[in-house]
């Protein structure tokens, strides 16, 4: 057996170990190969894949960088680097890596799908669609590729095309929890056929709780479509319990963070800060999820002078970079302790630099990351001419809307009624503190008022933003740009009041949530 044959065999063994989840074995094979051949590109690439699976981003970055140094035209390594760089908010460097990857015109559908994923992370959904379509064309029976393309169609409002693809995925993989959940969310159910299929699939005794959650939330959504309220609530409760069992929500750490924010970010602190960046282009839309933030973003970005940049992590990532903060948790008391002494001018500058690619060529842009309410004093310091719009909603409606929504890896407090309520009470109190300390520096919009009198709300909002009135902002639902949030379907409709007071259908079941809110002074 030749040495090259031995190397190929060892690489195959390493890849097989990775595919079955044996990261230790895969890593050991890589180390053995690199000990004898330090410049073996395939081994460095496998190290990167193993590190990604083990969530070791630093090692993955080093490994893929080694690949591109040894083989500068390695499209897959450049694409992986682009994804890693986007995760750190280094958009310009990610864009450069992605350009290098696409310049090779990769024919591997795995790489094409990865390129589409990175374009999605950049908010370039049309480019993402092109690459997802290439991957599906090359491998039409790959469920993961078809699922990515289907979700892209949802973002663009092409629900018929999305449903066709979701069903195609389910023909290939009838037990795909993500596809069942996405199909339920793509359109309103008219019968219980899909509910019965999800109910059958969720009974699989080997199904992981996280996968169970997809089925239960799909069942809950379609039961609501059909007005089967008790069945819907039971499904949401089962889904929330399944998801809650798979995550660690550190409520004590969240309490400490809120207390730190209230204690240290005072009006005196802001007054003593050095001047921030003078740019007036950012518009921050923030608050709790499921409170109308996407609706208001669509209203604002329908204006000819405004671009929607999506939900950007760049502000908090700027804090991380300037302070060299390494904790993987996104928001902590320690992060804000580090932020206290940062230069507002530098923080504003790094935010503007890292958002440049996503904010288009209009004079203003919207950053719609709800959790930026935590950073509100820092935004005031770093970008004093930015505008901040805060969305608020009747507390029980807001809490229930989050409780019945399956999120990705954020909002870990939302899968238990009492935890959800206590989190909302902390948020509610903090916003009261910000309102008292920084009067007139942000604009409150009540979701219920928006739906009740849209044009009046739009006129007042545009006045606050120093933008002239445009009818397109009232007709926001006609906008055809992509939306990648859980509200993708709703914001393509005119404003409505169907969700106002919806929690009351479940008043008895939601008693723990209501009691917890009342106990913390939120009525």
C-alpha distances out from residue 88 to 58, 328, 369, 409, Å: 11, 11, 16, 16
Quote the CA–CA distance of 186 and 159 in Å, as a whole number: 6
251-519: CATH class: alpha beta
- What pLDDT, on the 0 to 100 scale, is given for residue 5? 85
Q: What angle do CA 130, 182, 491 make, to 5 degrees?
A: 80
Walk along the chain (523 residues) and give the pLDDT tens digit of each residue: 567 888 889 999 999 999 989 999 999 999 999 999 999 999 999 999 999 999 899 999 999 999 999 999 999 999 999 999 998 888 889 999 999 999 999 999 999 999 999 999 888 889 999 999 999 999 998 999 999 999 999 888 888 999 999 999 999 999 999 999 999 998 899 999 999 999 999 999 999 999 999 999 999 999 999 999 999 999 999 999 999 999 999 999 999 999 999 999 999 999 999 999 999 999 999 999 989 898 999 999 999 999 999 999 899 989 998 997 878 788 999 999 999 999 999 999 999 998 988 888 999 999 999 999 999 999 999 999 999 999 999 999 999 999 999 998 889 999 999 999 999 999 999 999 999 999 999 999 987 777 778 899 999 999 999 999 999 999 988 776 655 544 444 544 555 455 667 899 999 999 999 999 999 999 8
Quote the CA–CA distance of 339 and 261 in Å, as a whole number: 11
Task: Please give the torsion angle defined by the CA atoms of residues 48, 50, 56 and 62, in that order, rounded to the nearest 10 degrees.
Answer: -20
Helices in 20-158 by DSSP H: which ranges? 23-36, 41-53, 57-70, 75-87, 91-103, 109-121, 125-138, 143-155
Quote the CA–CA distance of 118 and 140 in Å, as a whole number: 21
Are 176 and 145 within 8 A, CB to CB?
no
Are 170 and 179 within 8 A, CB to CB?
yes
| Closest residue by Cα to residue 175 from 153, 143, 138, 150 | 143
Q: Is 259 helix (H, G, I), strand (E, B) or coil?
A: helix
Domain ranges of the chain: 251-519
C-alpha distances out from residue 119 to 77, 86, 114, 243, Å: 16, 10, 9, 28
Q: Residue 326: is it exposed, middle or buried by C-beta count within 10 angstroms (0-12/13-18/19+)?
A: exposed
What pTM was estimated for this model as a whole? 0.88
Question: What are residue 391's DSSP bridge partners?
Answer: 287, 445
Quote the CA–CA distance of 43 and 40 in Å, as a whole number: 6
The values of phi and psi at residue 37, to 5°, are: -135, 80
- What pLDDT, on the 0 to 100 scale, is given for residue 408? 84
Residue 482 has what DSSP assignment?
-
Q: Residue 55: is it exposed, middle or buried by C-beta count within 10 angstroms (0-12/13-18/19+)?
A: exposed
Neighbours of 449 (CB within 10 A): 15
| Closest residue by Cα to residue 297 from 129, 517, 447, 111 | 447
296-350 residue pLDDT tens: 999 999 999 999 999 998 999 899 989 978 787 889 999 999 999 999 999 999 9
C-alpha distances out from residue 51 to 46, 85, 479, Å: 8, 15, 41
- What pLDDT, on the 0 to 100 scale, is given for residue 400? 96
193-241 residue pLDDT tens: 999 999 999 999 999 999 999 999 999 999 999 999 999 999 999 999 9
- What pLDDT, on the 0 to 100 scale, is given for residue 492? 44
């Amino acid at each position: 057996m030749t040495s090259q044959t031995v190397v190929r065999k060892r690489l195959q063994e390493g890849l097989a170990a990775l595919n079955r989840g044996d990261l230790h074995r895969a890593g050991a094979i890589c180390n053995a190969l690199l000990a004898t051949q330090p410049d073996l590109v395939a081994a460095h690439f496998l190290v990167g894949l193993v590190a990604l699976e083990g969530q070791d981003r630093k090692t993955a970055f080093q490994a893929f960088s080694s690949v591109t140094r040894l083989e500068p035209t390695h499209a897959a390594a450049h694409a992986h680097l682009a994804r890693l760089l986007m995760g750190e908010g280094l958009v310009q460097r990610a864009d450069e890596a992605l350009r290098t990857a696409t310049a090779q015109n990769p024919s591997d559908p795995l790489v094409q799908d990865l390129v589409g994923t990175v374009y999605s992370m950049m908010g370039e959904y049309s480019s993402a669609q092109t690459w997802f379509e290439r991957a599906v064309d090359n491998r039409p029976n790959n469920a993961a590729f078809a699922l990515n393309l289907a979700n892209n169609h949802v973002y663009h409002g092409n629900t018929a095309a999305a449903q066709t693809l979701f069903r195609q995925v389910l023909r290939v993989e009838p037990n795909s929890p993500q596809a069942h959940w996405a199909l339920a969310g793509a359109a309103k159910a008219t019968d219980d056929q899909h509910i019965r299929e999800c109910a059958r699939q969720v009974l699989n005794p080997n199904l992981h709780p996280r996968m169970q959650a997809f089925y239960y939330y799909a069942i809950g959504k379609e039961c609501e479509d059909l007005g089967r309220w008790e069945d819907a609530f039971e499904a949401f409760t089962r889904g929330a319990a399944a998801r809650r069992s798979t995550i660690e929500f550190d409520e004590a750490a969240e309490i400490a963070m809120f207390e730190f924010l209230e204690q240290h970010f005072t009006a005196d602190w802001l007054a003593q800060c050095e001047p921030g960046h003078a740019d007036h282009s950012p518009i921050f839309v923030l608050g709790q999820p499921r409170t109308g933030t996407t609706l208001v973003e669509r209203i604002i970005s329908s204006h000819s002078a405004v671009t929607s940049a999506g939900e950007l992590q760049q502000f908090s990532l700027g804090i991380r970079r300037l302070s060299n903060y390494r904790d993987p948790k996104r928001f902590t008391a320690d992060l804000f302790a580090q932020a206290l002494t940062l230069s507002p001018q530098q923080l504003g500058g790094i935010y503007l630099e890292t958002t440049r690619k996503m904010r288009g060529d209009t004079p203003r842009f919207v950053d719609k990351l709800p959790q930026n309410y935590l950073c509100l004093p820092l935004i005031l310091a770093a970008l004093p001419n930015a505008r901040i719009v805060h969305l608020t909603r009747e507390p029980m409606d807001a809490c229930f809307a989050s409780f019945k929504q399956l999120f990705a890896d954020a909002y870990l407090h939302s899968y238990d009624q009492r935890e959800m309520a206590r989190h909302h009470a902390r948020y509610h109190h903090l916003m009261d503190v910000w309102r008292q300390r920084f009067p007139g520096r942000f604009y409150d919009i009540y979701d219920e008022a928006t739906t009740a009198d849209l044009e009046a709300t739009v006129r007042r909002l545009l006045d606050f933003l120093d933008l002239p009135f445009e009818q397109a902002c009232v007709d926001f639902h006609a906008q055809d740009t992509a939306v990648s949030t859980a509200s993708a379907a709703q914001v393509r409709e005119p404003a409505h009041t169907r969700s106002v007071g919806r929690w009351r259908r479940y008043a008895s079941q939601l008693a723990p949530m209501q009691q917890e809110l009342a106990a913390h002074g939120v009525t």
